[in-house]
Amino acid sequence: MNTNCDKEPINPNPGFTDTLFQSQEFLDYWYFQEGSWWVYKRTDTIAEIYDTATVTENWKRFIFSKYAMPYSIERYYMDVYHSSKYLAKDGQNINYESNQQGMLSVNYGGGYLGSRNFFWWPLEFTYVGSTTMIDSIAINTISGTYYNIAHIRSFKGYYWISKNFGLVKLNSYDGETWELISHHLIR
């Protein structure tokens, strides 16, 4: 430990006096442990097309940014690998990260889904950048009914994200519809 002559600890990040933590309810919509997986089926065609998405990496750190002073921000990151070339057209890894309190960015093949602010907490039915929160109505899919939904419109399509399950449905603007059919989630 670094100390000064008086043997008192030196603050490694002077100016940061408090921490902004992510709420558990915000994390319940999108953050899962390594080894979690989802299987999606494309439902807009009679062809049997599937995708398996697997969490391959995740971590939690603290950000010390001059833009957030005097607060440090609890940052979560999750990397998801998609097995299918269909769903992952722009790249097979999708990165989820919280760089601001209550804000989720989703980086998909080098570009953002909607905007840097894809999802935010608490849910507000408004827009940030090119992303709009539409509603929170329950949705029926092949695998059942999901509640506590964040229904989002971005420049790539419509997304239904369910608390404790993650992405349960996607309607892309290129005409593809994907629905969750199976999952194994580690919390």
pLDDT at 183: 96
1 is a domain residue? no
Tallying the residues shown for the chain, one arrives at 187
Whole-prediction pTM:
0.81
pLDDT at 70: 74
pLDDT at 2: 45
Separation between Cα atoms, residue 66 and residue 59, nearest integer Å: 22
154 is a domain residue? yes
pLDDT at 114: 47
2 is a domain residue? no
**Which 3 state secondary structure label does DSSP give 169?**
strand
**Which 3 state secondary structure label does DSSP give 51?**
strand
5 is a domain residue? no
Separation between Cα atoms, residue 32 and residue 37, nearest integer Å: 9
Separation between Cα atoms, residue 109 and residue 24, nearest integer Å: 27
pLDDT at 112: 43
Residue 138 belongs to domain spanning = 18-184
pLDDT at 1: 45
140 is a domain residue? yes
* CA nearest neighbour of 28 among 148, 176, 128: 148
C-alpha angle 75-79-82 in degrees, rounded to nearest 5: 155
Read off the CATH number of the domain in which 134 is found: 2.40.360
Check if the beta carbon of residue 50 is closer than 8 Å to that of residue 41: yes
**Which 3 state secondary structure label does DSSP give 47?**
coil
> Based on the structure, what is the number of domains in the chain?
1
6 is a domain residue? no
Residues of the chain with pLDDT under 70: 1-15, 67, 85-92, 99, 107-130
116 is a domain residue? yes
172 is a domain residue? yes
pLDDT at 23: 84
